[in-house]
Chain A
Amino acid sequence: MMQSTSEILPLIAAVFAASVLGSMHCAGMCGAFLAFAVQPGSKGSEGGRRDALWPLHSAYHVGRLLTYTLLGFAAGGLGAAIDLGGRAAGVQRAALIGAGGLMVFFGVVAILRQVGMRLPRAPLPRAWRELIGKGQRLAFEMPPLARAWSIGLLTPMLPCGWLYAFAVLAAGTGEPVAGGLVMAVFWVGTLPVLIGLGVGVQAMTGVLRRHMPLLTSLAVVAVGLWTLLGRAPLVGVAQASESRAVTAGGGSAVLWSQPGATCHGR
C-alpha cells in the first residue's frame, strides 16, 4: 500500500529531528572511524593539506548513505512481509504496531539503565564481531579513497542501537521504498555533526553532552509512541475518502477523531 504525502512528510520531519538530536552519539562512536577514513595519504603518513579532504569525506558519507538506504529498504521489505502476515491473521498494519512497541521497549530499557537498573543484556554473536573486525581491517589497508568509501559502507555493521532503532522504524513503514527513505533521512540528520567534527563538536552541544544518552533514549520512546498513536489520526485525516480501517491507534485514535464525521477510522 502506498502511503500518502501527508503521512510521509511528518514522518520525515520526525526522523530528521530525532536524528539531528541524537547525532552526538554518532560523533562519539563513528568519530574515530571517520578520522581514519578521511586521513589523506597512506596509513601512517601525516595529513597536511586540508583541501584534499573533501573527496574522502564525500566517499565516506556516500558509502554510508548507500548501506543505510539498503538497510532501510530491507527493513521495509521485512515490514511488508509482517503486514501481509498480519492481515492474514486479521491484524491491520502489524509492522507499524510492532515497530512502535519495539522502540518504546528499547527506549524504556535504555532509560532504566540510565537510572542504574541492571538488566540482562544479549551478547553480540561472536561471528558478527569477527566479521566487523575482518571487514574494517580490510578497509584500513586500502588506498585513501577506497578506504573512506569502504569504511562508510561498513558503518551499518557496527551494532549501534541508535541506528537500529531507526531501522526498526523503517520496518514499521511496511514498505521498502518508505523504509529506504527513512534511513536516508536519518543519514541526512547525522551529516551536520559528522561533517562538523573538525570544528569543535563540544561547542555545539555544551551542557547537552552530559544528558545525551538520556535524551536519545527519550527520543526513541517518543518516536515509538508517536508511531503507535500519533500517526494514526493523520492517516485518518488525510485519507478521509478512503474507507480503510485504521485500528492501530486504538483508544488514542478515538480521542483524536471524536466528533468527526470526517474520520472513518472506527
Chain B
Amino acid sequence: MAADATIRGVETSVSCTHCGLPVPKGLVEAGSSTQFCCHGCSAAYEVITGCGLDRYYRLRDAVDADRAAATVTGKSYQEFDDEVFTSLYVRDRPDGMAEAELLVEAMHCAACVWLVEKLPQVLPGVSSATVDFRRSTVRLVYNQERVKLSGIAQMLDGLGYPPHPARTGGAQQLRDIEDRRFLVRVGVAGACAGNVMLVSFALYAGMFDKIEPIYEHLFRAVSWIIAMVSLMWPGRVFFKGAWASLRTKTPHLDLPIAIALGVGLLWGSVNVFRGTGEIYFDSLTALVFFLLVGRWVQHRHQRASADSVELMFSLTPSTARRIGLEGEASVVPVEALVPGDTVEVRAGESFPADGMIVRGSSAVDASVLTGESRPEDAGPGDDVAAGTVNLGSPLAVRVAAVGEQTRVGKLMRTVARCSAERAPIVRAADRVAGYFVVIVLSVAAITFGAWLLINPVMAPEHATALLIVACPCALGLATPLAITVAIGRAARAGILIKGGEALEALAKPGLMVLDKTGTVTEGRVQLVDRVGSERALRSAAALEQHIAHPLAQAVYDAAAGMTLPSARGVEHRVGQGVWGAIEGERWAVLSPAAAEAEFGGLSPQLLDAVDRFASDGHTAVVVVGPDGPEAALALGDAVREDSAASIEALRVRGWRVAMLSGDDPRAVRAVSASVGIDQADAHGGVSPEGKAAFIREAMADGGTVVMVGDGVNDAAALASATVGVAVHGGAEASLEAADAYTGRPGLEPVVELVEGARRAMRTIKLAMRCSLGYNTVGSLLAATGLINALVAAVLMPASSLTVLSLAYRSRSFVAKRGDRS
C-alpha cells in the first residue's frame, strides 16, 4: 500500500496492494491510495472489496492505524525485549538485520499464513516473515533499530495470533538450514533430470529421423555436463553413504546405488569422448532425483511426528512473573530465573521451575510428571515441580531448581541417554542391499567375461547397462514411500509413529511388556467390588462426599445417580475412617482394622470378603451401620474393558505378553490373572530404573521388545526398548521417550499399531519383490545385450510408478473418525 511505501522509503519498492509483489516503476501512480502491479490484481481487489470480503486489507489498515488498541490478549510482550531473551532467541545476521523465530497460536488455514506473511507490509522495519505452517512458527527478519521484537509480537497478537518464543531456537535453525539444503539438492536434481530428459528427447527423435552428427555430439556433451552436476552435487550423498557403508562394513542401500551411478557415469563419460555407445545420462539423473524425492518425503514425515511432541514442550512456560524486592512483579524469560527468586504463578499457568510454595494454597495438576490426572492440594511449604499446572488460585513460589536441574530436566537427560544407548534397528532394505551388491557385481562380472569372449567391444557396454538397470531405484523408493503412507494413515487413525524403524520392528512379534496402571487398567481408583446392601453404599457415599480423599471420592462416585441421604456431624480420622449421623442413626466407613478394634470382630462373610479384596490388591473398607458392620467395599484400579480381548489379540499375532508395574505385587498378580497374562510374566514392585533394566535384559536375547506405558516412571523403559509405545493420556516424558503414541485410551490401538505395522511391512516386501523382479528381468535383457538406452529410459519410470502405486494402495491403518479425541 502506498502509505507503507512512503514510510519504508527507498529501501524497498512499492508493493502491490493486492498481491504484495513489487509494482513496476512504470505503473506506480503517485498519490494514489492503492497501487497495482497489473490489471488482474486491480480487478481482484475490486472484487474482494466489492463483496465485503476485504478483511485482509481492513485488518492490516486497522492494525497499522491504531496498534496499541489492537491487542487481543492484552500482553505487552515486554519480556521479548529483555537482554536475556534477546541473547537466547534473537540471532544477528551478517547483513545487520536480526532474526527470530516465534511460535504462533491459532494459525489454521491458508488464509492465516497469507495474513501473517504480509507482516512486512504492515510493520515498517520487518523485512520478511516466513511461516512454517506445520510447526506453527514464523521466522522474522527485522531491523532492530526500527522495530522492537515486542512490537512485532504485539502486532501478531493484534491480528489474533498470540506469539510465543520457539524454545528450540538454535537446534531448530540448524535443522532448518539442513532442510533447506536438502530441498535445494532435490531441486537441483530435478532441474538436471528435466534438462537431460529434454536433450534426450532430441537424441531419441534423432535415432528415428537421423540427427546431424554434429548436433548429436553437442547434445551428448550437454547431457554429460548436466549429469556431472547432478551426480557431483545432489548425487554426492549416495557416494558418501556408500563410503560410510564400506568403512563401517554395514550393508546399506546407498552402496548398490553408488555403484550403479559411478559405473554409469564413468562409462557414459568414456562414450561421450569416444563419440559412440550409449550414455544413459537421462536414467542416471532421473535416478538421483527420484531417490532424493523419496528420502525427502520420508524425512519430512518423521520430522512431523517428532515435532508434534516437541511442540508440547514448547508450550510449557517460556516466561515467569518474578517478584522483586519491593513486591513488584516483572515478566522475565524462564532462563533468567535463579534459585532463590520468588515467582508468582497464576491459576491456569504451569510452574516455570521446581520450588516451594511460600504463599497461597491451591490445587496442582501434576499429570505431566505422573500421568495421574487427579489434582493434589498444595499449600505453603509444599514442593511443586516445573511443568505441572496450578489449577486454583495464585501462588508465590520460591525457586529451588531451574532448567536442567529440575525433575523434568533430569528425567529428560536419563531418557536421552537411554535412547542413545539403544542399538539401531537394521532396516529391511539395507539387509537386502548386502546380498544385492554381491549378486549384481557377480552377474556383471559374468556378463563382462562372457561378452569378452563373444564380442570384446560390447563387453563394457553391456556390463554397464546391467549395473544401471539393476540399480535398486524402486527398492530405495518403495521403503520410504510405503512407510510414509503408513505413518500418515496411522496419524489419521490417532496413532503417532516417529519413524519407519519402529514400524519395521513392530511387524516382527517378540516380547510385549505392558505397564499396569493406566495402560491395562483405567488408572484411577474406583469401586470394583461390593459385599452388602445398596443402602450401606448409599450411606457410605453420604458420609464420604464431604471428604477430599481419592478413596472417599471413589465411594462417592460409585453412588452416582442414587439419591443420597443427608449426613450430619461428619468426623474424619486419618488412617481410620469417617463417622457421622444419617437420619438420626450412627454410621461409619472404617478400615477393616479400625472396624475390628471397635466391634471386636467381623462376620465370617465380611471377613472373607475383606481377605479376598486384599489378596486381589484392592483397598478394603467396611461400612458400619447402627447394628454393626454391614458391608465391605473393594476400592481399586479397574481393568479396562478391552484389555483381556486386546491381550488375547496380541497373543494370537505371536506376541508374548508380560506385565511390569511399580504397584503392589499382589495387585499386579490379580490384574494379570484377570487379563490372562502368565503369572511368571507378571512383575510387581519394580522401580523405574528396574523397569529399564528388565527391558535391557530382555533385549539381550536379541528379539523385539516392545514397552507399552504411560507415565514418567515408564519413560526410561520406553527409551530402552526396541520400540516404546506411549498410550493415551500419558505424561509428556513418556511421549518424548516413545517411538509411537496412541491417541486413544486402552490397548486396542496397540493391537491396531501392531497389525498396521505388519500390513505396512507386507506392502514393503511386495514392493521389494516387484522391484527385484523388475531388476532381474532388466538384468537379463542387459546381460544378453537386448536392452538399449530407450528401453531403459522407459523401463525405469515404469518400475518406479509400479512401486508408487503399490505403496499408496496399502491399507495399513484404518482411520477411526468417530472416536478421535
Contact A237/B211 with A29-B41, A213-B22 known, Cβ cut-off 8 Å: yes
Q: Is the CB of B108 within 8 A of A13?
A: no
Chain A: CB-nearest residue to B132: A200
- For B46, the chain A residues whose CB sits under 8 A away are 129, 132-133
- For B113, the chain A residues whose CB sits under 8 A away are 197-201
Q: Is the CB of B110 within 8 A of A38?
A: yes
Contact A159/B24 with A32-B18, A260-B212 known, Cβ cut-off 8 Å: no
Tell me, rounded to whole Å, the shortest Cβ–Cβ distance linking A249 to chain B.
16
Q: Is the CB of A201 within 8 A of B117?
A: yes
CA distance A234 to B19 in the complex (A): 38
A86 within 8 A of B: no
CA distance A201 to B44 in the complex (A): 20
Tell me, rounded to whole Å, the shortest Cβ–Cβ distance linking B208 to chain A.
9
Q: Is the CB of B128 within 8 A of A202?
A: yes
Q: Is the CB of B109 within 8 A of A47?
A: yes
- For A47, the chain B residues whose CB sits under 8 A away are 108-109
Q: Is the CB of B44 within 8 A of A198?
A: no
> Which of A9, A112, A132, A199 lies in contact with B26, CB distance below 8 A?
A112
Tell me, rounded to whole Å, the shortest Cβ–Cβ distance linking A112 to chain B.
7
Tell me, rounded to whole Å, the shortest Cβ–Cβ distance linking A9 to chain B.
6
- For B41, the chain A residues whose CB sits under 8 A away are 28-29
Q: Is the CB of A200 within 8 A of B194?
A: no
Q: Is the CB of A200 within 8 A of B133?
A: yes
Tell me, rounded to whole Å, the shortest Cβ–Cβ distance linking B421 to chain A.
36
CA distance A35 to B638 in the complex (A): 49
> Which of B48, B56, B110 lies in contact with A198, CB distance below 8 A?
B110
CA distance A260 to B213 in the complex (A): 11
Q: Is the CB of A118 within 8 A of B205?
A: no
Q: Is the CB of B24 within 8 A of A110?
A: yes
Contact A28/B16 with A121-B27, A213-B21, A240-B210 known, Cβ cut-off 8 Å: yes
Chain A: CB-nearest residue to B180: A203
CA distance A9 to B200 in the complex (A): 12
> Which of A29, A38, A238 lies in contact with B40, CB distance below 8 A?
A29
> Interface size of B by Cβ–Cβ distance < 8 Å?
52
Within 8 A of A (CB), among B473-531: 492
Q: How does the 8 Å CB contact mask read for B1-39 relative to A, with 1 for contact and 0 for none?
A: 000000000000100101111101111000000000111
- For A163, the chain B residues whose CB sits under 8 A away are 40
- For B211, the chain A residues whose CB sits under 8 A away are 237
Q: Is the CB of A28 within 8 A of B19?
A: yes
Q: Is the CB of B194 within 8 A of A203?
A: no
B600 within 8 A of A: no
Q: Is the CB of A9 within 8 A of B201?
A: yes
Q: Is the CB of B132 within 8 A of A33?
A: no
> Interface size of A by Cβ–Cβ distance < 8 Å?
65
Q: Is the CB of A35 within 8 A of B44?
A: no
A42 within 8 A of B: no
Q: Is the CB of A124 within 8 A of B39?
A: yes
Q: How does the 8 Å CB contact mask read for A25-39 relative to B, with 1 for contact and 0 for none?
A: 101111111111011
B43 within 8 A of A: yes
Q: How does the 8 Å CB contact mask read for B151-188 relative to A, with 1 for contact and 0 for none?
A: 00000000000000000000000000000100000000
Q: Is the CB of A113 within 8 A of B40?
A: no
Tell me, rounded to whole Å, the shortest Cβ–Cβ distance linking A40 to chain B.
8
Chain A: CB-nearest residue to B24: A113
Q: Is the CB of B108 within 8 A of A50?
A: yes
Within 8 A of A (CB), among B358-405: none
Contact A259/B212 with A29-B40, A32-B48, A159-B43 known, Cβ cut-off 8 Å: yes
Within 8 A of A (CB), among B548-574: none
Chain B: CB-nearest residue to A117: B26
CA distance A32 to B16 in the complex (A): 13
Q: How does the 8 Å CB contact mask read for B400-429 relative to A, with 1 for contact and 0 for none?
A: 000000000000000000000000000000
Tell me, rounded to whole Å, the shortest Cβ–Cβ distance linking A62 to chain B.
18
CA distance A198 to B111 in the complex (A): 8
> Which of A129, A199, A260 lies in contact with B43, CB distance below 8 A?
A129
Other than A116-B26, A200-B113, give 16 A-B pairs with Cβ distance below 8 A: A13-B194, A25-B21, A28-B20, A29-B44, A48-B108, A112-B26, A113-B26, A113-B27, A114-B26, A137-B51, A158-B43, A198-B113, A200-B132, A202-B128, A237-B206, A262-B212
The 8 closest A-B pairs by CB, nearest first: A28-B19, A113-B26, A160-B40, A116-B25, A113-B24, A35-B111, A159-B39, A198-B110
Query: Can you identify 24 A-B contacts, CB atoms within 8 angstroms?
Result: A6-B205, A6-B209, A17-B194, A29-B40, A30-B44, A34-B110, A35-B110, A114-B25, A116-B25, A133-B50, A137-B47, A140-B51, A159-B43, A161-B38, A161-B40, A162-B38, A163-B40, A198-B110, A198-B133, A199-B132, A200-B132, A200-B133, A203-B132, A209-B21
